[in-house]
Amino acid sequence: MELIAETPRLIIAKMTLDDAPFMLELLNTPNWIKYIGDRNVKTVEEAENYMKNGVLKSYRESGFGFYKLLLKEEGNKTIGTCGLVKREQLENVDIGFAMLPEYEGKGFGMESSIEIMALAKTRFKLHRIAAIVQPDNPNSIKLIEKLGLTFIKRITPFEDNDELLLYLKEL
């Protein structure tokens, strides 16, 4: 396993195709579908393809991507994801996060994001970080603001025409 970082409660590591069953679970949680979108991934094989076209491509092309979060106190169980992505529709790299439902509201979003923001600056040499979020996602908005990002404007970057809030922070 390729470690990226460690926090008091979490190990942050690169994902591989072995994480496809976890991604299948995460992509079908109610909050992912409501707040991020239904990716229509219904089998482990579809999750593998989603990862090949997403996170694994990002590692190759950008040198960073989304990482898995392993909870030390539960035998390194994978509980969520947090990381960075460069999307063609956005000028700046954005930070993203999602936890399995039973691990929301326990501070893991903040704990992992602080580490990812630090890596964005020191390891990936980024000078600015963005975040995009649906206006009806209070938990994510709260986390983005706790991380020190500032609301810039409403944008509709994707084909689904959903209006999102764009936040930025200089690193």
Ligand X SMILES: CC(C)(COP(=O)(O)OP(=O)(O)OC[C@H]1O[C@@H](n2cnc3c(N)ncnc32)[C@H](O)[C@@H]1OP(=O)(O)O)[C@@H](O)C(=O)NCCC(=O)NCCS
Tokens matching residue 158? 């994707």
Spatial strand order in the sheet of 94-99: 3-6, 10-14, 66-71, 77-85, 94-99, 128-133, 164-170, 150-155
**Binding of ligand X at residue 137 (CB under 6 A)?**
yes
> Residues 6 or more apart from 91 whose CB is under 8 A from it?
130
| Contact stretch for ligand X (CB under 6 A) within 58-66, 95-103, 121-129, 153-161 | 95-103
Using CB under 6 A, count the residues that bind ligand X.
Answer: 20
| 155 makes contact with ligand X (CB under 6 A) | no
Applying CB under 6 A, among 105, 145, 154, 163 the residue interacting with ligand X is 105
Residue 148 binds to ligand X (criterion: CB under 6 A): no
CB burial readout 1-27, b (16+ within 10 A) else e: eeebeebebbbbbbbeeebbebbbebb
Residue 45 or 101 with smaller CB distance to ligand X: 101
| Strand (E) or helix (H) holding 105 | none
Q: Which is nearer to ligand X, 32 or 125 (CB)?
A: 32
Q: Find the shortest distance in angstroms from Cβ 123 to ligand X.
A: 22
* Residue 28 touches ligand X, criterion: CB under 6 A: no
Q: Which is nearer to ligand X, 30 or 75 (CB)?
A: 30
List residues near ligand X by CB under 6 A: 31-32, 35-36, 97-99, 104-110, 133, 137, 139-140, 142-143
